[in-house]
């Protein structure tokens, strides 16, 4: 192996990896980005991008490209709890809307943006070994489609290789705040189910679902049931999916009038934080932190993680800040930012009825524009649950309803 052919090797080229590689290359670093997949390709994930994620795409100069794909903006989030609905605007003046590009569209755009920035991109390249020298990660070994084994070296190897991260398995990071899978989710795409810029969710006993528009005039409809039902319901996903919708008869009627265009896809995921760095390595995106998809935070989280990790790596390479210190700060900022949302998300993912105080609060919101927008923004990851559910804000909402 030649010594340090690259400043950074990024393993995984989707929401976390391509932006990480792109941002490093834009700072002048020599970057290799590898993925065992080729692009465009799909992956198991729905793809609502809340306003903070759309804002990141705008910051990176990619929003126009996205808009040109015909992906519609999403300006309203509505939460139908049965007896009442909370409907609000998820955005802010700076980041007013969400959107939901197909992963075939989004991930290809991100890989292309990395390549445009000067990143060397190798698709169909599977990493099979994380190479270490005296306890420090110094490179990777892997192969392309021809199976020929290749080794590459870098000053840092960044695992952006998702939930089942190969890099994480190799470096054994500390794992914390772990929770088991809580929810099983299944989704598919429908034509003839117009959403008019809405992300609509329905919350019922032991069921929750959401629908929103994506490319090609299709609507994604995802339904979740408790993880305890995952195995039993596998034998009839379609039947259980359609039966769940009957808990909101008017919506079920709309779906009966629509047409399913694709197969059902579903999964359940564990919840964890991982220490995102060690000697010569880092983890970004799901490789470093994963949470249930019920609040759809993964893509904006991956974008924010990429930006923050790149700042830390840059501080080390450019001004010689110790890697350990720069990355520890990055980890602390990540954890502080996402922990309240992690707790909120994993509570929602149980699909258990909200505790009585939360039920009272939710019931007080309809008609209170500030509260409804605030609730939409909490779900959009714009406002921290720690702020929205603070004593002061809760008292204000409850007082307004009296
Ligand atoms: C059912 C479901 C629904 C979701 N819905 C949403 C949503 O609506 N909105 C949202 O924001 N988030 C959602 N998420 C979360 C979102 O999908 C993830 O947070 C996001 O994809 C993380 O991006 P990533 O780049 O970290 O990982 P991934 O997107 O998983 O990408 C990892 C990449 O690494 C590559 N790779 C893995 N191992 C290797 C190897 N050994 N060698 C080379 N390449 C390798 C893979 O091929 C893959 O391309 C959902 C997740 C699930 C499971």
Q: What does the pLDDT look like over 27-75, one tens digit per residue?
A: 999 999 999 999 999 999 999 999 999 999 999 999 999 999 999 999 9
Helix (H, G, I), strand (E, B) or coil at 84: coil
Q: How far apart are CA 181 and CA 354, in angstroms?
A: 19
Q: How far apart are CA 232 and CA 52, in angstroms?
A: 37
Residue 173 has pLDDT above 70, yes or no: yes
For 81-117, b where at least 16 C-beta lie within 10 A, e where not — what string? beeeebbbbbbeeebebbbbbbbbbbbbbbbbbbbeb
Q: How far apart are CA 397 and CA 389, in angstroms?
A: 10
Distance (Å) of CA 58 to CA 95, 176, 201, 280, 306 = 9, 33, 26, 31, 15
Q: Is 298 in the pocket of ligand 1 (CB under 6 A)?
A: yes
- What's the whole-model pTM score? 0.98
The closest-lying atom of ligand 1 relative to the alpha carbon of residue 187 is: 1
Q: How confident is the model at residue 402 (pLDDT cuts 50, 70, 90)?
A: confident
| Residues in Cβ contact with 367 at an 8 Å cutoff, skipping those fewer than 6 apart | none
What pLDDT, on a 0 to 100 scale, did the predictor assign at position 3?
59
List pLDDT tens digits, range 111-164: 999 999 999 999 999 999 999 999 999 999 999 999 999 999 999 999 999 999
Q: Is 220 in the pocket of ligand 1 (CB under 6 A)?
A: no
Distance (Å) of CA 75 to CA 195, 304, 380 = 11, 22, 11
Residues β-bridged to residue 140: 130, 152
Q: Tell which residue, 14, 56, 59, 52, has the closest CA to residue 33.
A: 14
Residue 37 DSSP class: S
| Residues in Cβ contact with 379 at an 8 Å cutoff, skipping those fewer than 6 apart | 50, 77, 79, 90, 295
Taking CA atoms only, the protein residue closest to ligand 1 atom 51 is: 45
What pLDDT, on a 0 to 100 scale, did the predictor assign at position 401?
83
Q: Is 12 in the pocket of ligand 1 (CB under 6 A)?
A: yes
- Reported as type and span, the H/E element at residue 171 is helix 166-171
Q: Is 293 in the pocket of ligand 1 (CB under 6 A)?
A: yes
For CA atoms 18, 20, 21, 24, the dihedral sign is positive
| Residues in Cβ contact with 164 at an 8 Å cutoff, skipping those fewer than 6 apart | none
Q: How far apart are CA 272 and CA 338, in angstroms?
A: 12
Q: Is 200 in the pocket of ligand 1 (CB under 6 A)?
A: no
Helices (H), ranges, 74-120:
103-116
Residues β-bridged to residue 152: 140
Q: Tell which residue, 226, 211, 266, has the closest CA to residue 80.
A: 211
Distance (Å) of CA 366 to CA 88, 92, 183, 386 = 10, 20, 27, 21
- Phi and psi dihedrals of 130, rounded to 5? -100, 120
What pLDDT, on a 0 to 100 scale, did the predictor assign at position 1?
43
List pLDDT tens digits, range 314-336: 999 999 999 999 999 999 999 99
Q: Is the peptide bond before 309 cis (omega within 30 degrees of 0)?
A: no
Q: Name the average pLDDT for the chain.
A: 97
Testing ligand 1's pocket by substitution, the residue of 18, 32, 46, 127 carrying the most ligand atoms inside 8 A of its CB is 46
Region 94-113: mean pLDDT is 97
For CA atoms 156, 160, 161, 164, the dihedral sign is positive
List pLDDT tens digits, range 225-277: 999 999 999 999 999 999 999 999 999 999 999 999 999 999 999 999 999 99
Distance 382 CA to ligand 1 centre (A): 21
Region 154-182: mean pLDDT is 98
């Amino acid at each position: 192996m030649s010594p340090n052919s690259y400043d950074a090797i990024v393993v995984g080229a989707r929401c976390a990896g391509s932006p990480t590689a792109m941002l490093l290359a834009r700072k002048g670093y020599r970057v290799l980005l590898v993925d065992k997949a080729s692009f465009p390709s799909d992956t198991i994930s729905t793809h609502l991008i809340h306003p903070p994620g759309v804002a990141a795409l705008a910051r990176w100069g990619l929003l126009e490209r996205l808009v040109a794909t015909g992906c519609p903006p999403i300006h309203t989030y509505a939460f139908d709890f049965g007896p009442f609905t909370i409907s609000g605007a998820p955005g802010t003046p700076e980041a007013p809307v969400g959107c939901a590009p197909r992963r075939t569209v989004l991930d290809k755009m991100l890989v292309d943006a990395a390549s445009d920035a000067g990143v060397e991109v190798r698709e169909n390249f599977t990493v099979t070994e994380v190479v270490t020298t005296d306890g420090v990660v110094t490179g990777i070994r892997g192969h392309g489609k021809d199976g020929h084994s290749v080794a590459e070296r870098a000053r840092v190897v960044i695992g952006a290789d998702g939930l089942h991260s190969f890099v994480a398995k190799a470096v054994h990071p500390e794992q914390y705040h772990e929770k088991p899978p809580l929810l099983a989710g299944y989704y598919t795409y429908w034509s003839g189910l117009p959403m008019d810029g809405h992300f609509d969710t329905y919350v019922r006993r032991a069921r929750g679902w959401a629908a929103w528009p994506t490319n090609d005039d299709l609507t994604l409809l995802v339904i979740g049931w408790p993880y305890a039902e995952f195995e039993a319901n596998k034998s009839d996903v379609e039947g259980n999916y359609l039966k769940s919708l009957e808990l909101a008869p008017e919506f079920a009627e709309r779906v009966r009038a629509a047409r399913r265009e694709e197969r059902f896809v579903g999964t359940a995921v564990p919840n964890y934080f991982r220490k995102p760095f060690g000697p010569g390595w880092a983890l970004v995106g799901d490789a470093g932190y994963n949470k249930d998809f019920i609040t759809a935070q993964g893509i904006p989280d991956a974008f924010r993680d990429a930006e923050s990790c790149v700042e830390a790596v840059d501080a080390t390479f450019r001004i010689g800040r110790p890697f350990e210190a720069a990355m520890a700060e990055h980890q602390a900022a990540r954890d502080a930012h996402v922990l309240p949302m992690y707790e909120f998300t994993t509570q929602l993912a149980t699909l258990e009825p909200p505790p009585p105080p939360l039920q009272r609060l939710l019931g007080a919101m309809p008609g209170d524009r500030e509260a409804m927008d605030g609730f939409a923004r909490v779900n959009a990851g714009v406002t921290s649950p720690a702020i929205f559910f603070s004593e002061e804000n809760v008292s204000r909402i409850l007082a307004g309803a009296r």
